[in-house]
Structure 1
Amino acid sequence: MNPDPIVEDAPQTVDKGKRRAQDATERTPLLGASSGTLDDSPPPTSSTSRRLFSRLAAVFLGSFVVSLLVFVALGLLAWSYASRASHASADDLLNEGLVFEGPDRVDVLNITWTGGIWVNVEARMGFDAGSVIGVNVSPDGDGFLQDVWKAVGRWGVRRLDRVSVNMSTIYLTSQSDPSVVLATIEPTPVVVPLTANPPSDSTWLTNISSPLLLRPTHNTSALIHFIREAWRDGSAAVRADVGNVDVRGGALDERSWRNMLHSELSNIRTALRIQIPPIPGIPQTGPVPSLSDLITLQSFNVYSASGSLDLAACATLPDPAPTSFNLTTPSLPFTISLPSTNEPVPIAAVSTAPFTLTHPNITLDISGTVLPIPAASSIVLSNFLTRYLSGLPNPIVISTPIIPDLTVDLDFPAPNPRPHILRNVTIHDMSIKPGGSAFTASGTVYARVVLPRGMEVALHVGRVLPDVLVFDGEVPEGAVYAPLRLNEATPPSAPPLPDPLPERAFGRIRPEDWLASLSGPVPSEDGEGSAFAVTAKIVDVPLEVLPGRQKEFRAFVSKVIFGSDGAIAGILGTAAVAIDVFGLPFPGNDGQGEMELTGLPFRGAIHVGKKSLLGLELGLSGAVRHGEEELKRLVERFLHWGKGKRKRSAVGE
């Protein structure tokens, strides 16, 4: 038996062309089999994705870490700057950071009687933020990291650029007595520019303009005390207290990233010392000069207007501000009063024209109107005018509704040169005659009333009361009579005779009551005010022979009787006049008021002829018919009348 043949697995071979292709089915690939190399490679999707993911993850993580580090670094930088700024004291902010120059100009915008004074202040301001947070360039140089840190800080300051500051009420007090508030200031929000590493000069400062509401204190005594202390020390030491300060980045009403910077400061207190500049013509040492020493009245005018009495004046005072300081003000109201035994009597309401500061003196143009004068206070105004017309200064009181409780005492200066009110005083048709134990005089008094320059008023002299010393010859130079007497009853009492009596004075003529007078305007000369002619008749007014002057009286009578042209009699005296000033508002008197002025001096001369001695003339006419002996006896009797009167008076005593 033959064993079965051994069948070995023969390797399969591919018939590349002799076999019929198999029929294609749905599972047959569209492409033929690839080479063995392509068939053995792994799919590319999984490995590529893993490598891309790794790379993206590395980039993301690196960026995140870098960003985190940057943010941390920036946060640390911001924290370092903010920490320095937050730890800066108010004194550091004010003394090292804030730089203020000025004010360069102050405009008074509005003045309210109760609200205060609105002013607009223009100045130059800047804030050295680099100095506060310590990022300014050091003159000695810094290390690399320090330079980088400072450079970033300066860049941040420049980016921030500005902050808005809103402050609460500022209280100004004296450093010597902080309990007394001198003034309060209501500031408005202001934008403060920021700077880092500014130059040494002031070119980096920014011009600002801000309105402020200023309310001065009503405690006038404390204000005057502060002014005196400041003048004594040469500077004004002031403390400023601010309750709250709100600082916000950016300009007012700005909406940006800058608003993220916000800080509030409270209870800020700082000391200020303001040097008092020298005032021309006023020594820096000694007591505080009074306003009367500072104010010069250049002109003063009062004139009758339609139904009123108006005033106009021009005054100057030294400009105490530095030349770089400018001030403009609107019209400022004032009330002028006259002191009295009770309350001051308001007599005029005036206001200044808007003015600016000028060097070396400020010029004030003043205008106003005389106020209604209470009848009970007319004597106060009469005394004022009497002193003024007599060449004497007057005390006045100045007040303003701007500061209701503030009053300032001033001296209203007398006119210069001293006015000569009564001029060309004479007595026409004067006659002297004996009547019982005395002589009486009659005649018509003529005078010219000339008001000082600037007083262009319409008035009427309705009554006069002369008090006259009569001299043998012209009135000697230097002779004076009757000091000024005020607050007199009506009519004024007779002033005492001068002691000693003036040389060659022998008689006194003084009516016992007012004399009715007539007056009318007459032309005035250059440099004079209104002028008026006044006449008054005297009838049988007593002629008093002065004590111890009988000899002078007899000498004068002898000249009249035996002289060919009579004799010259000098007259020296004072007069009281009652005047109606048109436009002076006395209540209930139709816009007119009568005032009595006393102590107005005058001097003059009159010619006394034989006909003036009327009683003696009648006696002489009869004596001519009875011969020379009778004439001689009559003359001797007349000449010795005064001597006999003196002897009888001595016996009576």
Structure 2
Amino acid sequence: MSTEGAPTLPHIDKGKARATPPVFDERTPLLGSTSGSLHSEDASESIPPRRETLCSKLLSIFLVSLSFCVLVFIFIALLAYSYASRSSGIPPDELVQRALVLRGPDRIDVLNVTDHGGMWVEVGGRIGINTGELLGVNEEDEDSVLRDMWKSIGRWGVHRLDRISVKLSTVTLSSAGLDKTFLANVTIPPLELPLTVNPPPDDTWLRNLSLTVFVQPSEDIPSLVRYARDSWMEGTVTVQGSVESVVVKGGRLGETGWRKHIEMAQSHLSNKLRIPIPPLPGLPQPGKNMPLPDPATLVTLQSFLITSSNSHLSIDANATVINPTPPNIHYDVPQLPFVVSLPTNITNSSVRPIPISSVTSYPFSLTHPNITLRLNGSVLPLNPSASPYLSSFLTDYISAISPPILVSTPLIPNLSLYTHFPAPYPKPQILRNVTIKDMKIKPTAGGDMLASGTVKATVVLPKGINVGLQVAKVFPDVLVFDGEVPDLVSDVTRRSKERSKSRKPPEHPLPDPLPERAFAHILPEDWLDATSVPVESPNGEGTTVQVSANIVDVPLEVLPGRDKEFRNFVGKVIFGSQGALAGVQGVAAVAVRVQGLPFDNGYDGEMELDGLPFQGSVRIGKKGLLVDHLPLP
């Protein structure tokens, strides 16, 4: 058979030698073709152990990785437990003392005052938590390598946490003494506090914080005033702060990530804070048992104007107040209403003060070193029983004595500040040009002396009091001198020791010792009716009126031991060609009616001004003496 053109077949060696195994490489399939002619026994013998080695290595790597992760987790858990136990073991007061850093307040804004005396206050300051100091992870020069590595993990954790959110129940503030006087409740909204490690030595690491808090002070005003005075005398404010519950969570407020699972809650916490009172501008150094300054010493009344109409008295005033607050505190004060009252009995709190005026301050800011205040108001309707107290107030004022007042505001009920209204300086001279016209002296059958004449005087109110004024009555208490009044007694002031609550004239004691050359005392038994005429005020001073009152047969008493001086004076009158000059010096009371002062008619519409010093002279001629029974020298 011819083989030409037939395909060439592969040669098959049918010898009895062992077959040569096939060659495997990376492209050789693990499973043979179904069309192959090899038996399964031969195929299993042809697979090498490389697959089993790979699986064994993968399993080893997995187990080692798992073991490492478990160890790392255990290490992190132990580390976290170490830091957590360290922080949880710190007492809350040490937490505040060591870690919490506050600066300020840098700004205080009173937003609103409630009807019950509570205040919404926006407080701005700077705050930070030195977490590294608290946990002991801040860098230190003497740290070893291992310790620094341990600390660095803690610092990394603090950076990851970044901040915490705090929710407080109402904070109760009380004095730290044995009495535990309640001071105020403070409601603070939830807040975020930043965490810091390795802070610089200055305050640049602190973050700005602005909070709107609600402060409800105690209604026990005397206790608050007593606490303020005690703190000032000690030079330190010591406050006990207490909260019912505190909840601290990781992260921001409303955190939704992993940080929210970091949570710590505490209850019934209390901490005592001692804050030294720093030197305050314009005030003496606190402490060393120094009393709290009278608020009146901080106020300078620059000008005021009281004007009257038919229905009321208006008050306008400008004053400066020393600003004792630090320069970094800013406070824009809105209009503030005040009520000025007269104390009736300081030792008896059951006797209510008498409100006399209502004023409102214009908005102002805390400027330094002084605050400028502008006030506007009016005199309130007065009860008739207020007349003696108002009279005493005005008498003190025109005598250059700062009268006591109580200042309150309806914004803070039950708060009254006891102070003094600043009196004018120098002392104003109310009665001027006092003389007795047509003075006559005559004896009586019983040996007493009687004086008659017309008292003339000018009443000049202090600058700024421009009111309609009518002098209705006068009550002069006169010492008569032989010649001009000596200079040494020109400033003698004699005043009634008690307020006159009746319509009786005031009683003034005689000076002791009696002044030189004084020989007689003229004292009416009752008020003298007077008339007054308005005149032009001198040098821009207040309302000025000319007053005259007739004295008819008023007792003239020769002073004890001054008979010789009296006889010498009578001799000068009789034998002198121009009579004799008599000096008059003393004090007077006047009853005035003020236009627009809201009193009822009659006596209730009058005010008494007592203790008005005066000095003058009068020349008495021969016609002024009825000498039939006079003792001659």
Could you say which TM-score interval applies, normalised by the shorter chain? 0.7 to 0.9
Q: Structure 1 residues 459 and 55 mapped into 2: Cα distance closer, same or farther (>3 Å)? A: farther
Q: Deviations over 1:230-268 (max 9, x none)?
A: 344432222222221122233334444432332222222
Counterpart of 1:376 in structure 2 is 385
Q: Structure 1 residues 460 and 255 mapped into 2: Cα distance closer, same or farther (>3 Å)? A: farther
Partner letter of residue 219 of structure 1?
A: D
Partner letter of residue 132 of structure 1?
A: L
Instruction: Decide which of 587, 591, 602 is 2:614's aligned counterpart.
Output: 602
In the aligned structure 1, how far is the partner of 2:624 from the partner of 2:566? 15
Q: Secondary structure at the match of 1:463?
A: strand
Partner letter of residue 375 of structure 1?
A: P
* TM superposition shift of 1:493: 5.0
Instruction: Decide which of 340, 352, 355 is 2:344's aligned counterpart.
Output: 340
In the aligned structure 2, how far is the partner of 1:35 from the partner of 1:176? 116
Counterpart of 2:630 in structure 1 is 642
Counterpart of 1:387 in structure 2 is 396
Q: Structure 1 residues 251 and 589 mapped into 2: Cα distance closer, same or farther (>3 Å)? A: farther
Q: Deviations over 1:564-594 (max 9, x none)?
A: 44433322222221111223222x4599931
**2:544 matches 1:531:** yes
* TM superposition shift of 1:121: 1.9
Is contact 1:442–1:540 with CA below 8 Å preserved after alignment? yes
Of 483-492 and 534-543, the range deviating more from structure 2: 534-543
Q: Deviations over 1:25-44 (max 9, x none)?
A: xxxxxxx9999979446899
Is contact 2:436–2:453 with CA below 8 Å preserved after alignment? yes
Counterpart of 1:196 in structure 2 is 197
* TM superposition shift of 1:208: 1.0
Of 208-217 and 358-367, the range deviating more from structure 2: 358-367
Counterpart of 1:304 in structure 2 is 307
Is contact 1:183–1:217 with CA below 8 Å preserved after alignment? yes
**2:434 matches 1:425:** yes
* TM superposition shift of 1:125: 0.9
* TM superposition shift of 1:530: 2.4
Q: Secondary structure at the match of 2:505?
A: coil
Q: Structure 1 residues 327 and 427 mapped into 2: Cα distance closer, same or farther (>3 Å)? A: same
Q: Secondary structure at the match of 1:236?
A: strand
Q: Deviations over 1:204-248 (max 9, x none)?
A: 111111122223333345434544543444322222222211222
**2:161 matches 1:151:** no
Counterpart of 2:113 in structure 1 is 111
* TM superposition shift of 1:159: 2.6
Counterpart of 1:581 in structure 2 is 594
Counterpart of 2:288 in structure 1 is 285
**2:179 matches 1:169:** no
Is contact 1:178–1:239 with CA below 8 Å preserved after alignment? no
* TM superposition shift of 1:557: 4.6
Q: Structure 1 residues 519 and 90 mapped into 2: Cα distance closer, same or farther (>3 Å)? A: same
Q: Structure 1 residues 16 and 326 mapped into 2: Cα distance closer, same or farther (>3 Å)? A: farther
Q: Structure 1 residues 86 and 432 mapped into 2: Cα distance closer, same or farther (>3 Å)? A: closer
In the aligned structure 2, how far is the partner of 1:520 from the partner of 1:251? 78
In the aligned structure 2, how far is the partner of 1:591 from the partner of 1:109? 47
Instruction: Decide which of 467, 475, 499 is 1:487's aligned counterpart.
Output: 499
Q: Deviations over 1:149-177 (max 9, x none)?
A: 43333233223222221211222233332
Is contact 1:218–1:403 with CA below 8 Å preserved after alignment? no
Q: Structure 1 residues 56 and 458 mapped into 2: Cα distance closer, same or farther (>3 Å)? A: farther
Q: Structure 1 residues 542 and 222 mapped into 2: Cα distance closer, same or farther (>3 Å)? A: closer
Of 197-206 and 76-85, the range deviating more from structure 2: 76-85
Q: Structure 1 residues 505 and 228 mapped into 2: Cα distance closer, same or farther (>3 Å)? A: closer
* TM superposition shift of 1:84: 3.6
Partner letter of residue 532 of structure 1?
A: V
Q: Structure 1 residues 591 and 569 mapped into 2: Cα distance closer, same or farther (>3 Å)? A: closer
Partner letter of residue 270 of structure 1?
A: N
**2:102 matches 1:93:** no
In the aligned structure 2, how far is the partner of 1:318 from the partner of 1:285? 22
Q: Secondary structure at the match of 1:643?
A: coil
Aligned length: 594
Of 466-475 and 539-548, the range deviating more from structure 2: 539-548
Q: Secondary structure at the match of 1:387?
A: helix
**2:470 matches 1:460:** yes
Counterpart of 2:242 in structure 1 is 241
Of 328-337 and 530-539, the range deviating more from structure 2: 328-337
Partner letter of residue 112 of structure 1?
A: T
Is contact 2:304–2:318 with CA below 8 Å preserved after alignment? no
Is contact 1:580–1:592 with CA below 8 Å preserved after alignment? no
Identical counterparts, % of pairs: 45
Q: Secondary structure at the match of 2:388?
A: helix
Is contact 1:308–1:591 with CA below 8 Å preserved after alignment? no
1:201-600 aligned within 5 A: 201-278=202-279, 282=284, 284-291=287-294, 294-299=297-302, 301-306=304-309, 307-312=311-316, 320-341=324-345, 342-357=351-366, 366-401=375-410, 404-431=413-440, 440-479=450-489, 483-485=494-496, 486-488=498-500, 489-492=502-505, 495-526=508-539, 528-546=541-559, 549=562, 551-586=564-599, 588-589=600-601, 593-600=605-612
* TM superposition shift of 1:309: 2.8
- What RMSD in Å do the two structures reach over aligned CA positions? 4.1
Q: Structure 1 residues 260 and 569 mapped into 2: Cα distance closer, same or farther (>3 Å)? A: same
* TM superposition shift of 1:287: 4.1
Partner letter of residue 340 of structure 1?
A: T
In the aligned structure 2, how far is the partner of 1:70 from the partner of 1:608? 119
Partner letter of residue 274 of structure 1?
A: I
Q: Structure 1 residues 493 and 65 mapped into 2: Cα distance closer, same or farther (>3 Å)? A: closer
Q: Deviations over 1:591-614 (max 9, x none)?
A: 99311222222111223345545x
Q: Secondary structure at the match of 2:489?
A: coil
Q: Secondary structure at the match of 2:485?
A: coil
Q: Secondary structure at the match of 1:93?
A: helix
Q: Secondary structure at the match of 2:487?
A: coil
Q: Structure 1 residues 243 and 455 mapped into 2: Cα distance closer, same or farther (>3 Å)? A: same
Q: Secondary structure at the match of 1:210?
A: strand
Q: Deviations over 1:430-475 (max 9, x none)?
A: 4556675666544433211112233333321122222333333222
Q: Structure 1 residues 117 and 139 mapped into 2: Cα distance closer, same or farther (>3 Å)? A: same
In the aligned structure 1, how far is the partner of 2:182 from the partner of 2:512? 57
Partner letter of residue 479 of structure 2?
A: L
Is contact 1:582–1:592 with CA below 8 Å preserved after alignment? no
Q: Secondary structure at the match of 1:157?
A: helix
Q: Secondary structure at the match of 2:394?
A: helix
In the aligned structure 1, how far is the partner of 2:440 from the partner of 2:212? 78
Q: Structure 1 residues 504 and 262 mapped into 2: Cα distance closer, same or farther (>3 Å)? A: same
Is contact 1:110–1:330 with CA below 8 Å preserved after alignment? no
In the aligned structure 2, how far is the partner of 1:559 from the partner of 1:379? 44
Q: Structure 1 residues 55 and 226 mapped into 2: Cα distance closer, same or farther (>3 Å)? A: same
Q: Structure 1 residues 439 and 416 mapped into 2: Cα distance closer, same or farther (>3 Å)? A: same
Of 378-387 and 554-563, the range deviating more from structure 2: 554-563
In the aligned structure 2, how far is the partner of 1:580 from the partner of 1:293? 29
Is contact 1:163–1:249 with CA below 8 Å preserved after alignment? yes
**2:188 matches 1:187:** yes
Is contact 1:583–1:592 with CA below 8 Å preserved after alignment? no
Q: Scaled by the length of structure 1, what TM-score is found? A: 0.78
Q: Secondary structure at the match of 2:534?
A: strand
Is contact 2:117–2:412 with CA below 8 Å preserved after alignment? no
Q: Secondary structure at the match of 2:159?
A: helix
